[in-house]
Structure 1
Protein backbone atom coordinates (compact mmCIF):
# COMPACT_ATOMS: atom_id res chain seq x y z
CA UNK A 1 0.00 0.00 0.00
CA UNK A 2 2.93 2.34 0.66
CA UNK A 3 3.80 2.36 -3.05
CA UNK A 4 0.22 3.36 -3.89
CA UNK A 5 0.46 6.24 -1.41
CA UNK A 6 3.75 7.29 -2.95
CA UNK A 7 2.50 7.27 -6.54
CA UNK A 8 -0.71 9.14 -5.65
CA UNK A 9 1.39 11.65 -3.69
CA UNK A 10 3.58 12.12 -6.78
CA UNK A 11 0.52 12.63 -8.99
CA UNK A 12 -0.73 15.26 -6.56
CA UNK A 13 2.68 16.92 -6.68
CA UNK A 14 2.26 17.26 -10.43
CA UNK A 15 -1.19 18.70 -9.79
CA UNK A 16 0.00 21.33 -7.36
CA UNK A 17 2.99 22.29 -9.48
CA UNK A 18 0.73 22.89 -12.49
CA UNK A 19 -1.77 24.54 -10.16
CA UNK A 20 0.84 27.15 -9.30
CA UNK A 21 0.75 28.27 -12.91
CA UNK A 22 -3.04 28.42 -12.99
CA UNK A 23 -3.25 30.26 -9.66
CA UNK A 24 -1.19 33.17 -11.09
CA UNK A 25 0.78 33.66 -7.89
CA UNK A 26 -2.18 32.72 -5.70
CA UNK A 27 -4.25 35.59 -7.07
CA UNK A 28 -7.04 33.38 -8.45
CA UNK A 29 -9.11 31.89 -5.61
CA UNK A 30 -10.25 28.50 -6.96
CA UNK A 31 -6.95 27.42 -8.51
CA UNK A 32 -5.18 28.65 -5.37
CA UNK A 33 -7.36 26.59 -3.04
CA UNK A 34 -7.04 23.49 -5.23
CA UNK A 35 -3.27 23.95 -5.36
CA UNK A 36 -2.95 24.20 -1.58
CA UNK A 37 -5.22 21.16 -1.06
CA UNK A 38 -3.10 19.15 -3.52
CA UNK A 39 0.06 20.27 -1.68
CA UNK A 40 -1.25 19.15 1.69
CA UNK A 41 -2.60 15.83 0.41
CA UNK A 42 0.63 15.15 -1.44
CA UNK A 43 2.70 15.66 1.69
CA UNK A 44 0.33 13.62 3.86
CA UNK A 45 0.49 10.70 1.43
CA UNK A 46 4.27 10.99 1.19
CA UNK A 47 4.45 10.88 4.98
CA UNK A 48 2.26 7.77 5.00
CA UNK A 49 4.48 6.11 2.39
CA UNK A 50 7.69 6.73 4.31
CA UNK A 51 6.33 4.87 7.31
CA UNK A 52 7.46 1.71 5.53
CA UNK A 53 9.54 2.81 2.53
CA UNK A 54 13.05 4.30 2.80
CA UNK A 55 12.92 8.10 2.92
CA UNK A 56 15.69 8.58 0.36
CA UNK A 57 14.03 6.32 -2.18
CA UNK A 58 10.56 7.73 -1.51
CA UNK A 59 11.60 11.35 -1.77
CA UNK A 60 13.63 10.78 -4.93
CA UNK A 61 10.74 8.97 -6.61
CA UNK A 62 8.22 11.58 -5.43
CA UNK A 63 10.27 14.48 -6.77
CA UNK A 64 11.29 12.61 -9.92
CA UNK A 65 7.74 11.75 -10.91
CA UNK A 66 6.71 15.29 -10.04
CA UNK A 67 9.48 16.81 -12.15
CA UNK A 68 8.84 14.62 -15.18
CA UNK A 69 5.06 14.94 -14.97
CA UNK A 70 5.23 18.69 -14.54
CA UNK A 71 7.63 19.04 -17.47
CA UNK A 72 5.40 16.92 -19.70
CA UNK A 73 2.30 18.91 -18.73
CA UNK A 74 4.25 22.13 -19.26
CA UNK A 75 4.87 20.98 -22.80
CA UNK A 76 1.28 19.85 -23.35
CA UNK A 77 -0.56 22.70 -21.62
CA UNK A 78 1.73 25.71 -21.85
CA UNK A 79 3.62 25.12 -25.12
CA UNK A 80 6.96 24.83 -23.38
CA UNK A 81 9.79 23.88 -25.74
CA UNK A 82 10.56 20.27 -26.62
CA UNK A 83 14.23 19.74 -27.39
CA UNK A 84 16.25 16.58 -27.76
CA UNK A 85 18.28 17.49 -24.67
CA UNK A 86 15.17 18.07 -22.58
CA UNK A 87 13.67 14.74 -23.63
CA UNK A 88 16.97 12.96 -22.95
CA UNK A 89 17.27 14.34 -19.45
CA UNK A 90 13.63 13.58 -18.66
CA UNK A 91 14.25 10.00 -19.80
CA UNK A 92 17.27 9.84 -17.51
CA UNK A 93 15.06 10.87 -14.59
CA UNK A 94 12.55 8.16 -15.53
CA UNK A 95 15.38 5.63 -15.66
CA UNK A 96 16.50 6.71 -12.20
CA UNK A 97 12.97 6.39 -10.84
CA UNK A 98 12.63 2.90 -12.31
CA UNK A 99 16.01 1.90 -10.88
CA UNK A 100 15.06 3.11 -7.42
CA UNK A 101 11.75 1.27 -7.57
CA UNK A 102 13.40 -1.99 -8.63
CA UNK A 103 16.08 -1.80 -5.94
CA UNK A 104 13.86 -0.63 -3.05
Structure 2
Protein backbone atom coordinates (compact mmCIF):
# COMPACT_ATOMS: atom_id res chain seq x y z
CA UNK A 1 0.00 0.00 0.00
CA UNK A 2 1.17 3.54 -0.69
CA UNK A 3 2.27 5.62 2.24
CA UNK A 4 -0.54 7.71 3.69
CA UNK A 5 -3.36 5.39 2.61
CA UNK A 6 -6.45 5.59 4.76
CA UNK A 7 -7.25 2.86 7.28
CA UNK A 8 -10.25 1.91 5.13
CA UNK A 9 -8.00 1.27 2.13
CA UNK A 10 -5.60 -0.73 4.32
CA UNK A 11 -8.49 -2.95 5.46
CA UNK A 12 -9.71 -3.26 1.89
CA UNK A 13 -6.22 -4.28 0.72
CA UNK A 14 -5.91 -6.96 3.42
CA UNK A 15 -9.40 -8.31 2.73
CA UNK A 16 -8.78 -8.64 -1.02
CA UNK A 17 -5.32 -10.16 -0.48
CA UNK A 18 -6.61 -12.78 1.99
CA UNK A 19 -9.53 -13.61 -0.28
CA UNK A 20 -7.20 -14.17 -3.26
CA UNK A 21 -4.89 -16.36 -1.17
CA UNK A 22 -7.88 -18.47 -0.06
CA UNK A 23 -8.74 -18.98 -3.74
CA UNK A 24 -5.23 -20.35 -4.33
CA UNK A 25 -3.31 -17.34 -5.66
CA UNK A 26 0.32 -17.05 -4.62
CA UNK A 27 1.20 -14.40 -2.06
CA UNK A 28 2.82 -12.16 -4.68
CA UNK A 29 -0.12 -12.47 -7.08
CA UNK A 30 -2.60 -11.83 -4.26
CA UNK A 31 -0.75 -8.67 -3.23
CA UNK A 32 -0.64 -7.47 -6.82
CA UNK A 33 -4.38 -8.00 -7.34
CA UNK A 34 -5.19 -6.28 -4.06
CA UNK A 35 -2.92 -3.31 -4.81
CA UNK A 36 -4.36 -2.83 -8.30
CA UNK A 37 -7.92 -2.99 -7.02
CA UNK A 38 -7.31 -0.60 -4.14
CA UNK A 39 -5.36 1.83 -6.34
CA UNK A 40 -8.22 1.91 -8.83
CA UNK A 41 -10.73 2.59 -6.06
CA UNK A 42 -8.48 5.35 -4.70
CA UNK A 43 -8.31 6.93 -8.17
CA UNK A 44 -12.10 6.81 -8.55
CA UNK A 45 -12.56 8.44 -5.16
CA UNK A 46 -10.04 11.20 -5.94
CA UNK A 47 -7.62 10.02 -3.27
CA UNK A 48 -4.68 9.53 -5.64
CA UNK A 49 -2.51 12.12 -7.34
CA UNK A 50 -2.44 10.25 -10.69
CA UNK A 51 -5.08 8.11 -12.33
CA UNK A 52 -5.60 6.42 -15.68
CA UNK A 53 -8.53 7.43 -17.86
CA UNK A 54 -10.25 4.05 -17.45
CA UNK A 55 -9.87 4.19 -13.68
CA UNK A 56 -11.77 7.45 -13.53
CA UNK A 57 -14.23 7.20 -16.43
CA UNK A 58 -15.26 3.57 -16.13
CA UNK A 59 -19.05 3.39 -15.80
CA UNK A 60 -18.81 1.19 -12.71
CA UNK A 61 -16.11 0.26 -10.27
CA UNK A 62 -14.77 -3.29 -10.29
CA UNK A 63 -16.96 -4.60 -7.46
CA UNK A 64 -20.09 -3.15 -9.07
CA UNK A 65 -19.27 -4.59 -12.52
CA UNK A 66 -19.14 -8.09 -11.10
CA UNK A 67 -17.05 -9.64 -13.88
CA UNK A 68 -18.95 -8.17 -16.82
CA UNK A 69 -15.74 -7.95 -18.85
CA UNK A 70 -14.10 -11.14 -17.63
CA UNK A 71 -14.88 -13.18 -20.74
CA UNK A 72 -16.79 -13.05 -24.00
CA UNK A 73 -19.57 -15.38 -22.88
CA UNK A 74 -20.59 -18.87 -23.85
CA UNK A 75 -19.26 -20.09 -27.19
CA UNK A 76 -21.72 -22.97 -27.58
CA UNK A 77 -20.83 -26.64 -27.35
CA UNK A 78 -17.20 -27.68 -27.36
CA UNK A 79 -15.55 -29.37 -30.32
CA UNK A 80 -15.53 -32.64 -28.37
CA UNK A 81 -19.28 -32.38 -27.76
CA UNK A 82 -19.93 -31.65 -31.43
CA UNK A 83 -17.67 -34.55 -32.43
CA UNK A 84 -19.54 -36.94 -30.14
CA UNK A 85 -22.87 -35.89 -31.66
CA UNK A 86 -21.44 -36.24 -35.18
CA UNK A 87 -20.24 -39.72 -34.29
CA UNK A 88 -23.74 -40.64 -33.07
CA UNK A 89 -25.20 -39.36 -36.35
CA UNK A 90 -22.47 -41.14 -38.34
CA UNK A 91 -21.27 -37.96 -40.10
CA UNK A 92 -18.56 -38.82 -42.63
CA UNK A 93 -15.21 -37.02 -42.42
CA UNK A 94 -15.83 -35.85 -38.86
CA UNK A 95 -12.31 -36.67 -37.65
CA UNK A 96 -10.72 -34.00 -39.85
CA UNK A 97 -13.39 -31.31 -39.35
CA UNK A 98 -12.92 -28.11 -37.38
CA UNK A 99 -15.39 -27.00 -34.73
CA UNK A 100 -17.16 -24.73 -37.23
CA UNK A 101 -17.33 -27.48 -39.84
CA UNK A 102 -18.78 -29.91 -37.30
CA UNK A 103 -21.41 -27.36 -36.30
CA UNK A 104 -22.34 -26.82 -39.97
CA UNK A 105 -22.52 -30.55 -40.64
CA UNK A 106 -24.85 -30.97 -37.67
CA UNK A 107 -27.06 -28.12 -38.85
CA UNK A 108 -26.24 -25.61 -36.11
Same fold (TM over 0.5): no
Which structure has the larger Rg?
2
TM-score, normalisation: structure 2: 0.29
TM-score, normalisation: structure 1: 0.30
